[in-house]
A and B are shown apart, each in its own frame.
Chain A
């Protein structure tokens, strides 16, 4: 490399310091432009739509028709959780669309950052399952706020060979004293608190009451000493289950799918009290700079092709009924899904959107409990 030669030259007094500096400057300039030049083709293109979404959704397979039409995928911006996403957008971060989940629907609407979706502009809208469209808070006199995209369940993934079931599968499994220190859970209140509500027998419609807070807090405090790790990182939980470090953990259905694919003997429980079910979807930002492209993008995500990828590769349900046609019943049941989302969603407990005050209070309480207080 030039610099080394120049170094030697300086050492030997051949190259004056000035010339050396110049050569370094050239190298520095080279360094600066190098990453820019070839990447220009792949860099963020201001003309394309931008979606603010979870990590793992930033891949071309979810946007087939968009890429067909525009030649490139949309721009992606990634968040680790809905809280961080909303905070950022409230801080002035503008995107075309974002990907929250139904539990936050009310809060996201209340933030005033989004506009209703004109569903007539979406060619795939007719195939979107009505049960998902009509979830609470979604359709009101202003229109439809969220275009449902993916859905699934949250339950206990447990090692069939390590966990000795006493009776039926139940949420009590995660409160089982026999396995203290070998249980795990997703760390965000957005999942854990609701599971706690199911365990405490608090109906979701009452979840905002003080009584609910007391009962759920009690239940979570009981669980805390048994938990080895609260993690927002599904990989960690999956690996812990695979190695036997944990015998059971509260996860999304995709984790069970991934582990079964790796031939780890796990099962995604169907607890007698019911699973927790969720739906996530796309919301359109009110100041979206590329509205037309945004609609193309949403339409692409709602297409059967995207759905097939979602079901087959991620194990999550998709909102387009036609996406399920590719799969037989057995596969779907194995994934914890069904051609009829109403079956799953109805059998489980569907999260009811809450407002920001509840969310903050819940998170604050849960974080304190996690901290041991």
Chain B
């Protein structure tokens, strides 16, 4: 970044705005852990005492862990599959001159521009006409449809962003396609792959609408939370679970974005 003093002139008003913005952004999130330690069934002010009981109760409620396990399994499956498909697609789009590729890309990106409820509803109709019973597999399919565009969107810039001559050099040196991919291309797009894995996992993990329409016996975590909203006895332990998930996802995302860097920063600014 060039040393242009006039741009670097600090703008106090903007700084205050940024601070206020971050505060408003975070306060609602931080209420979740706050109330998970609150000694009261009801989520309201003023706070009663401090307690760990909800966390202890959480440990014993198997339904909570079941739904968490379900969400994780679906999330991992969806993230791996969509990243693999996205990688293949991104490579195909950026390397081959495919007729109609703009249309194809637009088609794949369609879920980004159509409200989730329409997909949920359409898939439900399809599955019920086919007589396929609802299960975690149907939820996985629904999530795949939602996550694939994100995977492709994350990976495309990566594949475009690096020098194709490296691949050509590898080919010139006599390596076949697979080898070139593994030793040359893949390491260079790795940040994008990691970012895609984590992004799609997180989207699937938190996804509610598709799960709402497509869940069978085994609930995902958001579905479980939804059913628990009605029952005061169970709710605080759900908050406890959410706080734990919050912490873990904060760490995960931190790692992901740091490693992945999402192609947003100029190379000179990165450390390694």
Whether both chains belong to one complex is answered with yes
**Smallest CB-CB separation from B43: which chain A residue?**
A239
**Smallest CB-CB separation from B134: which chain A residue?**
A93
Question: How far is A91 from B68 in the complex, measured between Cα atoms in Å?
Answer: 25
Question: How far is A91 from B213 in the complex, measured between Cα atoms in Å?
Answer: 11
Q: Return A7 CB to nearest CB of chain B, in Å.
A: 7
Which residues of chain A are near B42, meaning CB under 8 Å?
A: 235, 239, 242
Contact assessment for B72 and A32 in the assembled complex, using a CB-CB cutoff below 8 Å: yes
B202 on interface, CB distance cutoff 8 Å: no
1/0 per residue, CB under 8 A from B, across A202-240: the answer is 000000000000000000000000000000111100110
Contact assessment for A235 and B124 in the assembled complex, using a CB-CB cutoff below 8 Å: no
Which residues of chain A are near B127, meaning CB under 8 Å?
A: 91-92
Contact assessment for B66 and A39 in the assembled complex, using a CB-CB cutoff below 8 Å: yes
Which residues of chain B are near A75, meaning CB under 8 Å?
A: 217
Contact assessment for B231 and A235 in the assembled complex, using a CB-CB cutoff below 8 Å: yes
A167 on interface, CB distance cutoff 8 Å: no
Q: Return B179 CB to nearest CB of chain A, in Å.
A: 13
Q: Which of A24, A42, A78, A235 touches B235 (beta carbons < 8 Å)?
A: A235
Within 8 A of B (CB), among A51-76: 55-56, 58, 75-76
User: How many B residues touch A, CB cutoff 8 Å?
Assistant: 42
The interface-forming segment of A10-18, A126-134, A171-179, A342-350 is A10-18
Q: With A235-B235, A238-B232 in contact, is A7–B259 under 8 Å at CB?
A: yes
Q: With A24-B194, A42-B62, A58-B63 in contact, is A80–B227 under 8 Å at CB?
A: yes
A138 on interface, CB distance cutoff 8 Å: no
Which residues of chain B are near A77, meaning CB under 8 Å?
A: 216-217, 219
Q: Which of B66, B132, B232 touches A42 (beta carbons < 8 Å)?
A: B66
Which residues of chain B are near A235, meaning CB under 8 Å?
A: 42, 229-232, 235
A279 on interface, CB distance cutoff 8 Å: no
Q: Which of A18, A56, A79, A233 touches B187 (beta carbons < 8 Å)?
A: A18
Contact assessment for A80 and B217 in the assembled complex, using a CB-CB cutoff below 8 Å: no
Contact assessment for B232 and A92 in the assembled complex, using a CB-CB cutoff below 8 Å: no
Within 8 A of A (CB), among B131-190: 131-134, 187, 190
Question: How far is A32 from B219 in the complex, measured between Cα atoms in Å?
Answer: 18
Contact assessment for A93 and B229 in the assembled complex, using a CB-CB cutoff below 8 Å: no
Which residues of chain B are near A242, meaning CB under 8 Å?
A: 42
B258 on interface, CB distance cutoff 8 Å: yes
Within 8 A of B (CB), among A148-169: none
B31 on interface, CB distance cutoff 8 Å: no
List the count of A-B residue pairs having beta carbons below 8 Å apart. Answer: 100
Contact assessment for A55 and B76 in the assembled complex, using a CB-CB cutoff below 8 Å: no
Q: Return A155 CB to nearest CB of chain B, in Å.
A: 19
A139 on interface, CB distance cutoff 8 Å: no
B65 on interface, CB distance cutoff 8 Å: yes
Contact assessment for A44 and B66 in the assembled complex, using a CB-CB cutoff below 8 Å: yes
B233 on interface, CB distance cutoff 8 Å: yes
Within 8 A of B (CB), among A224-282: 232-235, 238-239, 242-243, 258
1/0 per residue, CB under 8 A from A, across B11-48: the answer is 00000000000000000000000000000001010000
A333 on interface, CB distance cutoff 8 Å: no
Q: Which of B134, B229, B230 touches A91 (beta carbons < 8 Å)?
A: B134
Question: How far is A115 from B218 in the complex, measured between Cα atoms in Å?
Answer: 24
Which residues of chain A are near B271, meaning CB under 8 Å?
A: 11
1/0 per residue, CB under 8 A from A, across B114-141: the answer is 0000000000100110011110000000
B53 on interface, CB distance cutoff 8 Å: no
Question: How far is A34 from B201 in the complex, measured between Cα atoms in Å?
Answer: 16
Contact assessment for B255 and A4 in the assembled complex, using a CB-CB cutoff below 8 Å: yes
Which residues of chain B are near A232, meaning CB under 8 Å?
A: 230
Question: How far is A243 from B44 in the complex, measured between Cα atoms in Å?
Answer: 9
Q: With A31-B76, A234-B230, A239-B44 in contact, is A76–B63 under 8 Å at CB?
A: yes
1/0 per residue, CB under 8 A from A, across B242-272: the answer is 0000000000000100110000000000011
In the assembled complex, 26 residue pairs joining A and B whose CB atoms fall closer than 8 Å, in A order, are A3-B255, A4-B255, A28-B76, A31-B76, A35-B69, A35-B72, A35-B73, A39-B69, A42-B66, A43-B69, A56-B231, A56-B233, A56-B234, A58-B63, A77-B217, A77-B219, A78-B219, A78-B224, A78-B227, A80-B227, A80-B230, A92-B128, A92-B133, A93-B134, A238-B232, A239-B42
Task: Please name the 5 residue pairs, one residue from A and one from B, whose CB atoms are nearest each other, closest first.
Answer: A42-B62, A35-B69, A92-B133, A55-B227, A78-B227
Having A35-B68, A77-B216, A235-B231, one finds 17 other A-B pairs with CB under 8 Å, namely A17-B187, A18-B187, A28-B76, A32-B72, A35-B69, A42-B62, A50-B217, A58-B63, A80-B230, A91-B134, A92-B127, A93-B216, A93-B217, A232-B230, A233-B229, A234-B231, A235-B235
Interface residues of B (CB under 8 A from A): 42, 44, 62-63, 65-66, 68-69, 72-73, 76, 124, 127-128, 131-134, 187, 190, 194, 197, 216-219, 224, 226-235, 255, 258-259, 271-272
Interface residues of A (CB under 8 A from B): 3-4, 7, 10-11, 13, 17-18, 21, 24, 28, 31-32, 35-36, 39, 42-44, 50, 55-56, 58, 75-80, 88, 91-95, 232-235, 238-239, 242-243, 258
